[in-house]
Chains A and B, each alone.
Chain A
Amino acid sequence: MTTLLDPTPSLVEPGERPDRRAAALRATGRWAAAIGGALVIFSALLLLRGANPLEALGDMWVSTFLRGRSLAEILNVMAPITLAALAVLVPARAGLTNVGGEGQLMLGAIAAGGTALALDQQLPGPLVLVLALVAGGVAGAAWAGVAAILRLRFQVDEAVSTLLLNFIALDLLLFLIYQPWRESAAGQPTTRELADAAKMPVITGTVINVGIIVALAATVVVILVLGRTRWGFRLSVVGGNAEAARRAGMNVAGLVISALIVGGLLAGLAGAIQFTGIEYKLRAGFGLQIGYLGFLASWLARHRPLPVLLASFVLAALAIAGDSLQLDAQLPAASVNILTALILAAVLGWTTVKARRA
């Protein structure tokens, strides 16, 4: 250990020697083993249902990744999931748990839909699209702001308030499509469809819509803002030790509010993209579960932006695979949720074990 004459303090604690490459290899191995284990259990369930697991999984693989348009579909589905994941990630940096992606996304879609449907007959399509995206982001931010105020004023845990606000958002959507915004001609309660001119354009020569570009850009912005700005630095102090932030004279309340609001903005943007790029009309079941998938993606990625892209891609692919399972193996589409859940449980279980050891 150190003596006074030793120029550098001794820092190595017994048994500690970080080796990044070995750690990355181990992490990859854990992921592979977790996914493999989940597939084995899922195969057993398929067998019980009388399906041939190899065939079913093979069909899933082929139709998800090898069919012509399926990669484009995955990317389209991935865009809102990525944004919803970032909506969890930014507040998590400040130590907050935003479970409200679903509701913030819903509000974003309502605002985007309301704006776009009100204007798409009068204004040029691209302008309507931009206004819809802005409205979606603002509405999502405002919805998260409600939770922020509840936390600061009444000490309501944001994990609870954001979750409960999801149900209010859903009821608000249902009210709007059953009553004021209902297209009278349709049998199902929905709004009318957005005019083609205001729909999100596709990348030339593909069916991939611009949503994925927005999502990727948002990821880059989040990386830069969290990693390079004073605001991002302060968030990581608040998230790491709020008492340290307070003693350093930081405005902890302001930072908490701003992190939640930025999260809401990203979720609202996800809702706006889901509306203008994928569904084009508000209906019951709009954007269902995207908020929760984003929550899972962020946790799977341990709240780091680049892995969030991978996790969002995997979850989007599983969602697409579920459709193929229904079509090819005559199993309910919900079956794939079992696979999703198994993978999540396995990955989270294993990464948590690792985190505890570290």
Chain B
Amino acid sequence: MSIEAPVAPTTLPMLQVDGFSKRFGEVQANSDVRFDVHAGEVHALVGENGAGKSTLLKMVYGVYEPDEGRMLIDGEPVALGSPAAARSRGVGMVFQDLRLVPAFTVTENIALAANPGPVLRLKDLAAEIAEASARHGLAVHPNARVRHLSIGERQRVEILKVLMTGARLIILDEPTSVLAPQEVDALFAVVRQLTEAGFGIVIVTHKLGEVRAIADRVTVLRAGRTVLHGVDPDDYDDEQLIEAMVGRAVPALPAERGPVPPSDVPALELTGVSSRGDRGHEALTDISLRVQPGELVGIAGVAGSGQRELCEVALGLRPTTSGEVRIGGASVDSARDAIGAGAASVPEDPVADSVVRRLTVLEHMGLDGRRIPARGLGVDWAAVRARMTDADARLGLRIAPAKRRLSELSGGNIQRVILTRELALDSSLVVAAYPSRGLDVANARRTQEVLLERRAAGSGVLMVSEDLDELMALADRIVVMHDGHVSGEVLAADFDRQAIGRLMVGGTS
């Protein structure tokens, strides 16, 4: 780690949160939370989903009012009623989902946020932007159209936007979740430059590697309480930090796993497959890929490199324009072919692709693609329930009660329902897109174990993830995609972040 600006506890913090409490109905989202940020430091805020991070930040940013507690900016108590008030006090926020208008230029987007009054002086603003971006090492061209920018560049525009509105304290909400490794490095370089210039940075993350790479101090929230407050991450090892987040020790993944058994018939085989995306563009070009039974193949790539289309083609959900897809040797042209050949799948966006909001957990358990258990003309719900209980007991992801409608569940709970249904199947192939997305540390770990169990049971597993560490921990082989092509392939013995990162942006390893 690097400390550009030494932490000086004697100086007044830019921001000090004193015992914030917030209750939503029966949920105590924050209780007596303490948090502070000094000028020139990076303070990481970590915790599981639902630990209260976003509630805390929304109170800091003026979206919610705390029930109890007070907040000081530069030692002076403030009550922020709105984000506008927060901005006027120098607090800025970069949201996880970037909020830019793609058809506008960088300058126009910033003009929207900077609220320059009735007359737009875009030229003056563009000059200011060029000056600010040069000063902070942001490398953003004011006249570029946002839709032509990469995700990393768009994020820099967001940071610039926050800077231009006069922020001195910048909150970055899970900024790395959408970035390739190189872009993460570039972002961290920007963050270091900002702290050197005296800005205070809050970075929300759940990746310990990032805490160690960038943070001067770390605060851990669990169940709405401050478990560790502003400690130096170097004083704690990973197990201790995870235990602070989770409340108990989480076992490490088994390091030893058997070799991939030789097999004549691959679990999944794509031969020269091309396919179109939803907008009619060529989303996959000449993809050839094999997953053996008992092998876990990871797919790495910058978001939108064709991962979604690859999964859909493999599952017979998207027509190919050329090439052939086989599961266990059987040709696949439709979802029913794929299911018939023994495929199970965890979709990239379960809410859009697998969830019927007004149906219950139990009813979703009947939608695993297998024949619905029959009783006369009706559904044998007792059989479905037995299946569900058995699956839940075997997988241990503790799904929500059978009668709950999916519309009442949070993203993580929905994910656990879908994971339990699909990974409990006796499948020959598992296609899992971002399986641990939205899960807390313990459930994410359990999901990874289950994927390894499927592999050990002889399923071929194709897994897409945005978390390179996760892929390197699980995969026998990582296939890297770039712009609809396979740009390279790396075996477990040769895993190397930088090499994979270069392939992700279209270079060679």
Interface residues of A (CB under 8 A from B): 1-5, 7-17, 228-231, 233-234, 236-237, 240-241, 243-249, 251
Contacts and interface: CB of A to CB of B under 8 A. Distances in A.
Contact of A230 (B26, B315, B374): B374
Given A1-B52, A4-B247, A233-B363, 7 more contacts: A9-B398, A9-B400, A9-B416, A10-B27, A11-B404, A230-B374, A233-B372
Contacts of A247: 315, 317, 335, 345, 347, 353-354, 369
Contacts of A244: 353-356, 367
Contacts of B354: 241, 243-244, 247
A1 B223 contact: yes
Contact of B356 (A8, A9, A228, A237): A237
14 contacts: A1-B51, A4-B442, A7-B398, A8-B401, A9-B399, A10-B27, A11-B413, A17-B26, A228-B378, A229-B377, A241-B357, A244-B356, A247-B353, A249-B336
A14 B25 contact: yes
Interface in B16-71: 24-27, 29, 50-52
A4 B440 CA distance: 9
Nearest to B350: A244
Contacts of A1: 27, 29, 50-52, 223-224
Interface string B319-330: 000000000000
A13 B50 CA distance: 11
Interface residues of B, number: 51
B223 A3 contact: yes
B223 A9 contact: no
A206 B408 CA distance: 50
A201 to B, nearest CB: 31
A240 B224 contact: no
B24 A4 contact: no
A4 B29 contact: no
B24 A237 contact: no
B410 interface: yes
Given A241-B356, A244-B353, A249 B339 contact: yes
B296 to A, nearest CB: 22
Contacts of A240: 356-359
Contacts of A237: 356, 359, 367
A2 B369 CA distance: 31
Contacts of A249: 335-336, 339-340, 369
A10 B27 CA distance: 9
Contacts of B50: 1-2, 10
In the A-B complex, the 3 residue pairs with the smallest Cβ-Cβ separation, listed nearest first, are A14-B24, A240-B356, A1-B50
B156 interface: no
A10 B29 CA distance: 12
B159 to A, nearest CB: 30
B379 interface: yes
B179 interface: no
A15 B25 contact: yes
Given A4-B246, A237-B367, A240-B357, A11 B372 contact: no
Interface in B393-412: 398-401, 404, 408-410
Nearest to A3: B247
Nearest to B55: A14
Contacts of B353: 241, 243-244, 247
B345 to A, nearest CB: 7
A15 B25 CA distance: 5
A5 B247 contact: yes
Contact of A11 (B317, B355, B408): B408
A9 B413 contact: yes
A12 B401 CA distance: 12
B200 interface: no
A243 B352 contact: yes
Interface string B55-96: 000000000000000000000000000000000000000000
B410 A11 contact: yes
B355 A14 contact: no
Contacts of A8: 398, 401
A247 B248 CA distance: 37
A14 B345 CA distance: 31
Contact of A246 (B335, B356, B410): B335
Contacts of A236: 356, 358-359
A8 B409 CA distance: 13
A233 B224 CA distance: 40
A31 to B, nearest CB: 22
A4 B25 contact: no
Nearest to A14: B24
A251 B336 CA distance: 9
* Most-contacted residue by chain A among B354, B367, B372 (CB, 10 A): B367
Contacts of A233: 363, 366, 372, 379
A248 B369 CA distance: 4
A7 B400 CA distance: 11
Contacts of B358: 236, 240
B25 A12 contact: yes
B286 interface: no
B141 to A, nearest CB: 39
A5 B442 CA distance: 11
B454 interface: no
A348 to B, nearest CB: 20
Contacts of A16: 25, 408
B183 interface: no
A229 B366 CA distance: 13
A249 B332 CA distance: 13
A248 B368 contact: yes
Nearest to B23: A14
Contacts of A11: 400-401, 404, 408-410, 413
A245 B315 CA distance: 14
Interface string B351-395: 011111111000100111100101001110000000000000000
B222 interface: yes
A181 to B, nearest CB: 40
A14 B67 CA distance: 14
Contact of B24 (A15, A229, A243): A15
Interface string B193-231: 000000000000000000000000000001110000000
A15 B354 CA distance: 26
Nearest to B51: A1
Contacts of B401: 8, 11
Nearest to A246: B335
B63 to A, nearest CB: 13
Contacts of A234: 372
Contacts of B339: 249
* Most-contacted residue by chain B among A2, A231, A236, A240 (CB, 10 A): A2
Interface string B264-307: 00000000000000000000000000000000000000000000
